[in-house]
């Protein structure tokens, strides 16, 4: 029987070396820059960082304070409609209310209308996952295997489109703005499209492929809390229906906090409103559909302008100011410690 031939190890032979090769790379002898931190370089970095952060912070705060904004809370002013909406059996009954307000100064430039919700938590894990991204891309998928339950199908097996808790709780108040000029009432023209992110409108959301949008949603039903099916969300613009409706897309991007605002409309700059909103008396006419009393919520309408840094949010500017102040104070503390130690060193050298 043939086998492998083994040779005995020679006595006194050295074991194979495990040392890396004697090269510059493996022996870590490559040239490197080793900064020598002197007191001048350390203090310069702290003071320059502080000056930069303070400058940026002041610019951001001044920019945020230059935003013109007016906020109107209509939760109590539409209390009758709120009581009507608390009873789910009244879902098909219309209820309207009006809220008057006054602009003391002109709001010039691009004017944006937002709706704001308070004490509405969208950051619950099950709520955030309650959607089907494949369905929102217009694909035929098995909704029952998604995270949409219990808003996936009705008891008779009819599929819900769009499914999930996020879509079912979509904000559905209708808000119109009117300008009271002398004895006439002029409706302010508002743009309902072009408000969502380009990536959402063109990448994340797609309607099912069909020659007709209503036939594309055949065999499905609207979410329980909706008053209209998805293909009739905008009866004035057929391109703004289904899963690519701007209001729906904006709502599906959930908020991280309980108090938030979403873009609702933009003022169309034309005729009397070419420069923005003139000072005067205005009226919000609201079709009240979204109940908030059960979770102790509040609803707002916000008219606001934007600047190069965004909307009226001074948080980023304040953060820069705090960082710049901390860096500057740290620089002064290090300077004081250095001067104290240098005096002590000089004293001992003289001794």
Q: 187 CB contacts (<8 Å, ≥6 apart)?
A: 176, 177, 178, 179
The DSSP letter of residue 149 is T
Tokens encoding 193:
């499209």
What pLDDT does 1 receive?
A: 47
The position carrying tokens 């509405």 is: 120
What pLDDT does 104 receive?
A: 92
What pLDDT does 300 receive?
A: 96
Tell me the pLDDT of the chain (351 aa) as tens digits.
455 555 555 555 666 778 888 888 888 888 888 888 888 889 999 999 999 999 999 999 999 998 999 999 999 999 899 888 888 777 778 899 999 999 999 999 999 999 999 999 999 999 999 999 999 998 877 777 788 989 999 999 899 999 999 999 999 999 999 999 888 999 999 999 999 999 999 999 999 988 889 898 988 999 999 989 999 999 889 899 999 999 999 999 999 999 999 999 999 999 899 999 999 999 999 999 999 988 899 999 999 999 888 888 889 999 999 999 999 999 999 999 988 888 777 756 666
What pLDDT does 350 receive?
A: 62
The whole-angstrom separation of Cα 172 and Cα 104 is 30
Under 8 Å between Cβ of 208 and 216 = yes
Residue 7, classed as helix, strand or coil, is coil
The whole-angstrom separation of Cα 298 and Cα 99 is 15
CA of 237: how far to CAs of 174, 231, 289, in Å? 16, 11, 21
The whole-angstrom separation of Cα 307 and Cα 349 is 60
What pLDDT does 13 receive?
A: 60
What pLDDT does 91 receive?
A: 75
What pLDDT does 219 receive?
A: 87
């Amino acid at each position: 029987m043939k086998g492998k031939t083994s040779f005995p190890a020679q006595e006194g032979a050295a074991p194979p070396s495990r040392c890396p090769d004697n090269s510059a790379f493996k022996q870590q002898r490559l040239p490197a820059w080793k900064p020598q931190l002197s007191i001048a370089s350390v203090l310069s970095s702290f003071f320059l960082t502080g000056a930069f952060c303070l400058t940026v912070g002041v610019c951001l705060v001044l920019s945020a304070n230059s935003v013109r904004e007016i906020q109107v809370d209509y939760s109590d002013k539409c209390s009758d409609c709120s009581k009507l909406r608390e009873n789910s059996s009244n879902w098909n009954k219309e209820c309207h209310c009006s809220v008057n307000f006054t602009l003391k100064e002109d709001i010039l430039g691009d004017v944006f209308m937002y709706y704001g919700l308070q004490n509405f938590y969208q950051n619950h894990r099950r709520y955030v996952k309650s959607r089907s991204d494949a369905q929102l891309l217009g694909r035929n998928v098995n909704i029952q295997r998604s995270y949409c339950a219990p808003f996936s199908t009705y008891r008779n097996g009819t599929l819900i489109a769009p499914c999930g808790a996020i879509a079912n709780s979509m904000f559905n108040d209708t808000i119109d703005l009117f300008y009271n000029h002398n004895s006439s009432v002029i409706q302010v023209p508002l743009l309902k499209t072009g408000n969502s992110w380009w990536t959402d409108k063109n990448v994340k959301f797609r309607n099912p492929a069909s020659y007709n949008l209503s036939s594309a949603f055949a065999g499905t039903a609207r979410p329980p809390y909706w008053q209209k099916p998805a293909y009739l969300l905008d009866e004035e613009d057929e391109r703004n229906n289904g899963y690519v409706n701007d209001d729906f897309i904006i709502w599906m991007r959930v908020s991280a906090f309980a108090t938030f605002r979403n873009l609702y409309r933009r003022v169309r700059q034309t005729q009397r409103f070419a420069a923005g909103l003139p000072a005067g008396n205005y009226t919000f006419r609201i079709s009240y559909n979204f109940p908030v009393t059960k979770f102790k919520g509040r609803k707002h309408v916000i008219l606001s302008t934007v600047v190069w840094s965004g909307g009226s949010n001074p948080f980023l500017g304040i953060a820069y100011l705090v960082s710049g102040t901390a860096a500057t104070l740290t620089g002064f503390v290090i300077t004081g410690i250095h001067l104290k130690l240098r005096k002590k060193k000089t004293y001992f050298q003289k001794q």
